Amino acid sequence: MKKSKKKLLVTGGAGFIGSNTALYFSKHGWNIHIIDNLSRKGSKDNLLNLKKNIDVNFYKIDTSNFSKISKVIKKIKPKLLIHCAGQVTVTKSVTNPRNDFNSNAIGTFNILEAIRLFSNKTKFINISTNKVYGNVSNKKVFQGKNRYGFAGKMKSINENYPLDLYSPYGCSKGIADQYTRDYSRIYDLDTVVVRLSCIYGTMQYGIEDHGWIVWLTIKSYFGKKIKIFGDGKQVRDALYIDDLVKLFLKLSKSKKNKNKIYNIGGGIKNSMSLLELIEILDKKMNKKNKFKKFNWRPGDQKIYISDISKIKKEHHWSPKINVHQGLDKVINWIHKNELNIKKLLKP
């Protein structure tokens, strides 16, 4: 008898992380279902690309609609649900906190409830964010020529760092993060939280306030002036998308991560500041990129670097693609998709 394929449901499956996840799992023999409200610029392009390349079942649903979400989850009863849908920018959360709350807090709660009531064997991976640690203001920071650094012994942030939900986005993601954990404690669901730092890669239709690595690369590629908010010395650790989707597959196979929380990023080796990225792009594009500085944005951390030792230790996972290799892949993708990507630059 033919073995039936394992079912994966990806919310936000037409977004950057979601569509890469769908492609990767499909190549590994999974049956793919995706939910997306297509609110993100570029999502329709990603969906078309998915439909061209893999078998995919698409549901145009907003996660804030419990009745529709629960119907789909009840029908599919996925083995794995990776929750990537959500409002993704701090700036938009400040101008429209209700939309942010509905999308991130209510959206995640609806999915957890649907799993609890109709599909309690589903493994649930919730995509959280380093923003749950706020401005990491307990740590002293020093200022170098082109970047900030953590003073003292600890050079990165681990999962025991105190939560400090900062900005409506930080709050709505923090609620989702904690509910995910608690639904495992209270209802014994198989949930895991990954707190991501900066993920970048192909199929990321970067915008000014989300996906800065790809956004700056796109600006540089098309010779446009780059806007920097703050002094440009802000540091993040960068993780290439292929390394992340490989981790998702690893987590899907393991029973060791129930009720766990992991910080995920490129770690210290793959950290860089905005000014350092611009320098790298100058070299890769063989031009001097122009940029202009603007005021800091609310909730922007001067420095955040993930301590990835817990995930390394427990799951033997570590990033394999360094920033130079990752940027080359992104530049190649921009080159092949110039027309589509150029649309993003239009206001």
Show which residues are catalytic.
Answer: 169
The torsion defined by the Cα of 184, 191, 299 and 226, in degrees rounded to 10, comes to: -170
Minimum CB distance to ligand NAD, residue 107 (Å): 5
Q: Which residues contact 195 (CB under 8 A, 6 or more apart)?
A: 128, 129, 130, 132, 133, 159, 177, 261, 262, 263, 264, 306
Q: Which stretch binds ligand NAD (CB under 6 A): 29-37, 111-119, 296-304, 310-318?
A: 29-37
Rounded distance, CA 93 to CA 100, Å?
5
Among positions 26, 91, 93, 129, the unique one binding ligand NAD when judged by CB under 6 A: 129
Q: Does 15 bind ligand NAD (CB under 6 A)?
A: yes
Tokens encoding 21: 């996840």
Residue nearest to ligand NAD (CB): 15
Is 167 an interacting residue with respect to ligand NAD (CB under 6 A)? no
For the chain, what is the radius of gyration of the CA atoms? 19
- The yes or no reply on residue 243 touching ligand NAD (CB under 6 A) is no
Q: Decide whether 58 or 118 has the Cβ nearer to ligand NAD.
A: 58
Residues 37-76 that bind ligand NAD (CB under 6 A): 37-40, 43, 62-64
Element at 52 (helix H, strand E): helix 43-53
304: helix, coil or strand?
A: strand
The Cα–Cα gap between 317 and 251 comes to 10
**Whole-number minimum distance, CB 297 to ligand NAD, in Å?**
15
- 271 belongs to the binding site for ligand NAD (CB under 6 A): no
Positions 186 through 225 that interact with ligand NAD (CB under 6 A): 196, 198-199, 211
- Show the binding pattern over residues 79-118: x = contacts ligand NAD (CB under 6 A), - = does not: -----xxxxx--------------x---x-----------
142's CB contacts (< 8 A; 6+ apart) are 148, 149, 150, 151
Q: What is the closest distance, in whole angstroms, from the C-beta atom of residue 16 to ligand NAD in the complex?
A: 4
User: What residue type is assigned to position 36 of the chain?
Assistant: D
Part in contact with ligand NAD (CB under 6 A); list of ranges 9-17, 25-33, 273-281, 311-319: 9-17
Which of 134, 211 has the CB closer to ligand NAD?
Answer: 211
Sole binder of ligand NAD in the list 12, 174, 206, 319 (CB under 6 A): 12
Query: Alpha-carbon distance 25 to 53, whole Å?
Result: 12
Looking at the Cβ atoms of 14 and 189, the one nearer to ligand NAD is: 14
18 touching ligand NAD, by CB under 6 A? yes
The HSE-up count of residue 252 (CA atoms within 13 Å, CB side) is: 22
Give the integer Cα–Cα distance in Å for 344 and 283.
Answer: 24
Q: Which of 36, 177, 190, 307 binds ligand NAD (CB under 6 A)?
A: 36
Asked if 76 contacts 42 with a C-beta cutoff of 8 angstroms, the reply is: no
- Can you give the binding site for ligand NAD, defined by CB under 6 A? 12, 14-18, 35-40, 43, 62-64, 84-88, 103, 107, 127, 129, 196, 198-199, 211
